[in-house]
Each structure stands twice: as structure tokens, then as C-alpha cells.
Amino acid sequence: MTDAPRTTPAPACAGPDPSPKRPQFQMPRGACDCHAHVFGPASAYPFAAGRAYTPPDAPLPAYLGMLDAVGLDRGVLVQPSVYRTDNACLLAALAAAGKRLRGVVEIDPRGLDDATVDDWTRLGVRGVRMNMAVAGGLPLSELEGIGDRLAEIGWHLDLIVDRVERIEEIAARLHDLPVPLVVEQMGRIKGGQAVDTPGFQALLTLLDNGNTWVKLSHAYHISVAGPPYADTAPFARALAESALDRLVWGSDWPHPMLHGPMPNDGDLLDLLASWLPEPAARQAVLVDNPARLYGFPAA
């Protein structure tokens, strides 16, 4: 995928809800937000040309404040598309946060020397993102080569597709990857589509192979009904029935590229509880599964 010329400025995004609230359920110890971003300051970490959006500054202290406010002990920072393969902002945040955070970078891992891999692994990097949802991400043609290098490194592949139908198109290639595959946004299915949509069924089949994980995240992108995103429940529950032990949850803080009302992160956790009403299921998704996938110590 290549950058398309941009003739108008990238649209600006609103900041997150400044008053995140505690969810209505008891947060388990060691709970983890597995999908978030940090941005800025823009003067220190300039954004790429041709980007799809322009985020406000959303620095590490603000993110850690959100985690504290809602009762999350851990987090995973994912490289946003506005920085392309310049991971400096993410790496600086990992260094400053110590062992509380892990990271997913965006870079061709075949270009990483072993010393850099060792350094980044010590910082907390555990995966590489392949972003098919915007221009400029790692090209799908390189999937197998990237997978082989990630197997050598011991990291996973984090994938966001442009549409759920894409999963069916490339399912065989994804199945054969030699590394754990983490699929963002519940596969990018949309509210109003059926659970038996072929692309979503292909995702469920991938879950059956034991090497695929899915993020229960981005309900506001998936939903077409709007808050409280009730039309996302069938997808989340179908995923939980298929492989509860390979699901993780993500806030997508500070919620860039949001079209619609800005959610409160406590409400997003309560949405998770509506999908997974049993405490044992939330323990798996919020604590046990992230610890295994991202290498956090036992809570």
C-alpha cells in the first residue's frame, strides 16, 4: 500500500473524555488495556505527511492517568499510522513507563538487527503492526517474509484489515503464519452484518487453529447504531464462545478517528461487562490472556 497524495489537511481529532470513571464492576488485579496510543508533543514527534488524521497531544502521563482512574494496572501501546515507521514516541513512552506497558511497533522487522531487537524487547516491544486500514502500512505482499522474521524474534503480528471480507480472502495465508496473529477491531465487521458473514466466519475459523487472537475493541467504529453500541454484542459473544482464552480488550485511547460522541473509558469497560457478564470471563480477557500474549508477570 502506498500513500495517496493529500491535497487537504488531515482532519483534526478531538481529545478523550477528560474525566474517565470507574466501571460498575470490580476490576480484577492486573487488568490490561491492550490497545492504546500516545501522541506528541507534536513539536518533538512530528506527524507524517499524507496521514489520515491529526491527533491532539495525548502524552504518556495522560494515558497513565486514565488507567489509574478506571482501575487498569497495565497497558499496551500500538504504533499509530500518523507516525508511520517512526516509533520514537512509543519507545520513549515505554522507557518512561517501566514494566507497566508493552508495545507494538510498525516497521519491517526484517530490517531490525539483533541488537535493536534485544533493546526493544527489553523496553517491552512484543509485536509488529500491519495496518491495512490506511495507506502507508506494511504491504500485504510481504506477509510471509515478515512472519518468518517475527518467528525468529519471538514477537507476534498485529493485524488491522480494511474490511472483514479481507479476512476470508487471505485466510489461508494467515492460517499458515508461524507466529501468533492478533486481529484488531473484532475483524472490522460492521453492525448490521450477520455473525454468519463469510469474513467473520473466517475469523472464527482462524480462532479454531489456536494461533489467532482477537481484540475486543473499537465498538464505536464497528457500531452503526451508535452509543451504547448494542449492535456489537453478537460479534463479541460469538468470539467469546469460540476462544475465550485468546481474546483481549482494548480502549483505543485517546480514540483517534472517532466519528460520533466521545466515549468515557469507564463506559467502554462496562460495555465489555455486558458482553462478558461472568467475572471469570473478564478475568481471562483483562488479566490472564494479556499476561500470556504480552509477557506480563502473573498478577
d(CA 245, CA 289): 6
Mean pLDDT, residues 181-185 taken together: 98
**Nearest 5°: CA angle at 76, between 190 and 63?**
95
Contact, 223 vs 234, CB < 8 A?
no
Query: What distance in Å separates the CA atoms of residue 245 and residue 279, rounded to the nearest whole number?
Result: 14
Confidence check: pLDDT of 2 > 90:
no
| % of the chain surpassing 70 pLDDT | 97
Could you give the angle at the alpha carbon of 127 between the alpha carbons of 148 and 244, nearest 5°?
Answer: 100
Nearest-angstrom CA–CA distance, 235 and 276: 12
Residue (of 246, 252, 250, 234) closest to 281 by Cα position: 246
Stretch (H or E) spanning 116: helix 114-123
H helices present in 128-197, as ranges = 143-153, 165-169, 171-175
252: annotated active-site residue: yes
Scanning the structure block, which residue is given the C-alpha cell 490472564?
A: 288
* Mean pLDDT estimate for the chain: 95
CA 279 – CA 238 distance, rounded (Å)? 18
Domain ranges of the chain: 32-294
Contact present, 179 and 213 (Cβ < 8 Å): no
> Which of 33, 252, 265, 288 is flagged as catalytic?
252
Alpha carbons 61 and 64: distance in angstroms, whole number: 5
Buried b (16+ CB within 10 A) or exposed e, 243-258: bbebbbbbbbbbbbbb
Which class is domain 32-294? alpha beta
Say if residue 8's pLDDT is above 80: no
Q: Using one digit for the tens of pLDDT, what is the confidence trace for 135-149?
A: 888 999 999 999 999
> How far apart are the C-alpha atoms of 267 and 289, rounded to whole Å?
22
Q: What is the largest CA-CA distance in the chain?
A: 50
Q: What's the half-sphere exposure (Cβ side, CA atoms, 13 Å) at 103?
A: 29
Helix or strand (DSSP H, E) at 212: strand 212-216
Q: Per-residue pLDDT averaged across 98-113, rounded?
A: 96
Residue 170: CB atoms within 10 Å = 15
In the predicted model, what is the mean pLDDT of residues 64-90?
98
Q: Which pLDDT tens digit goes with each residue over 40-59? A: 999 999 999 999 999 999 99
